[in-house]
Amino acid sequence: MTKLTTALIQAQAQKMAGSRHVQGAILAVDDPDAQGPYVAAAGDLAPDSPFCAASTTKLIVTIVTMRLVEAGHIRLDDPMADHLPAELISGLHRRKGVDHTGRITIRHLISNQTGLRDYFSLKGPDGRRPADTLLAGQDSPWPLERTLLAVRGTEAQFLPGQKGKVAYSDTNYQLMGAILERVTGQSLPDLFAAEVFAPLGLRATYVYSDPEDERPVWFYAGSRRLHLPHYLASVPAEGGMVTTACELATIGRAVFEGRLFDIDALLAQQDWRMIFWPGQFYFGLGLERLWTPRFISPLRPIRDVMGFWGQTGAFVFHHPATRLTCAGTVNQANGRGHAAAVRAMLNVIRAARC
């Protein structure tokens, strides 16, 4: 018998929306002991609002990658160079004058262990980062070719797969998206739909590809609403998904129930490494894990909350011990409200196991 209630989920959504600068929040909780997901919204969002999922899209990359591995089309330890042309990637990873591009594997890409710089935080000739211009509301596309132009010639942070090293880099996922397209011969919108969205019966989830599409609720930077359709349409692998809280929770539950690929095989290979930017959490093989020191009880710690964050405040996380999957958004692109979302998820988990 489930211990969760609609009132509890609504109260947590209200607390998320009460965080400073958060204009609206949605929280969906998929409980296998209930008839359907609990979902609540507060502020300027509705329970079924389609929102920009940002880096929670990377969970779809993990799903499709593992499905291709299981089908024998790729291996995690395939060099990136086996699947992308030399003229595209040659000289991309340089450290201390040596080109290590050929050492980068698919495993390194989806673990953020390549050492490649994150284009999103690299300063351009004008001294500004893409993150600065986009958060200022200046919309422009960042396709793979532009990304690699920005990254090539910069010093890599560490060697591919170097022990203990990890650095969040959207560059890795742009490259991974190119690999998936070349291996399958499909565009990412079509591939994600065929491999994930359609099999799960999702109707509101898709990869944003048309800058004229005004279906998603656009996110904020502080009190200013951002409208970045050209950027969003150019980054399908790293952050181009549009979804709802309930459908994002459905994806998370399907992953951790093993309905899309062998989740136990993936968890057995995890090499969790603490990351400190763009937030403090653990990054592993195609998954993130929450760092929850403030919520740890000496007697009953909350462990192994796994899933993905998005820069827009979107999230999807699963807790194996309670079998709960939480998903939603605080719809903020500057990191504000993320802590409130963590508290909401952990409060739900704590209530479920009391």
Q: pLDDT tens digit string along 33-76?
A: 888 799 999 999 999 999 999 999 999 999 999 999 999 999 99
User: What secondary structure letter does DSSP report for 113?
Assistant: -
Tell me: pLDDT of 84 over 60: yes
For the beta sheet containing 241-243, the strands, ordered from the edge strand earlier in sequence to the opposite edge, are 51-52, 241-243, 206-207
d(CA 223, CA 215): 21
User: What secondary structure letter does DSSP report for 223?
Assistant: T
d(CA 105, CA 180): 13
Residue 140 domain-assigned? yes
Residue 222 domain-assigned? yes
State the pLDDT at residue 298.
62
Please name which of 282, 340, 279 lies closest in space to residue 310, comparing C-alpha atoms: 279
Q: How confident is residue 354, by pLDDT bands cut at 50, 70 and 90?
A: confident
Residue 269 domain-assigned? yes
Alpha helices in the chain (DSSP H): 6-17, 58-70, 86-89, 106-111, 130-135, 144-151, 170-184, 188-192, 229-233, 236-239, 245-256, 263-268, 338-353
* Residue 301 belongs to domain with CATH number: 3.40.710.10
pTM to 2 decimal places = 0.96
Mean residue pLDDT across the chain: 94
d(CA 318, CA 307): 6
Tell me: pLDDT of 353 over 90: no
Residue 81 domain-assigned? yes
Tell me: pLDDT of 227 over 60: yes
Residue 1 domain-assigned? no
∠ at Cα 291 (325, 306), nearest 5°?
A: 30
Q: In which domain, by residue range, is 165 found? A: 6-353
Structure tokens that stand for 109 in this block: 């890409």
- What DSSP assignment string belongs to 200-215? TT-SS-EE---TT---
pLDDT in tens, 274-289: 998 888 899 999 999 9
Contact between 184 and 195 (Cβ < 8 Å):
no
CA dihedral angle for residue 303, residue 309, residue 315, residue 317, rounded to 10 degrees: -30
User: What secondary structure letter does DSSP report for 139?
Assistant: -
Q: What is the mean pLDDT of residues 260-266?
A: 98
Contact between 63 and 325 (Cβ < 8 Å):
no
Contact between 140 and 45 (Cβ < 8 Å):
no
User: For residue 272, what are the contacts with CB-CB under 8 A and spacing of at least 6?
Assistant: 282, 283, 284, 289
Q: For the chain, what is the domain count?
A: 1
Q: What is the mean pLDDT of residues 145-165?
A: 96
d(CA 331, CA 336): 9
Contact between 263 and 83 (Cβ < 8 Å):
no
Please name which of 2, 1, 27, 32 lies closest in space to residue 259, comparing C-alpha atoms: 32
d(CA 109, CA 340): 30
Alpha helices in 116-169 (DSSP H): 130-135, 144-151
pLDDT in tens, 230-248: 999 999 999 999 999 999 9
Q: What is the mean pLDDT of residues 184-191?
A: 98
Q: How confident is residue 148, by pLDDT bands cut at 50, 70 and 90?
A: very high
User: What secondary structure letter does DSSP report for 217?
Assistant: B
Please name which of 338, 331, 56, 339 lies closest in space to residue 221, comparing C-alpha atoms: 331
User: For residue 334, what are the contacts with CB-CB under 8 A and spacing of at least 6?
Assistant: 21, 135, 221, 222
Residue 350 CA to chain centroid, in angstroms? Answer: 24
User: What secondary structure letter does DSSP report for 295?
Assistant: G
Structure tokens that stand for 173 in this block: 């996922």
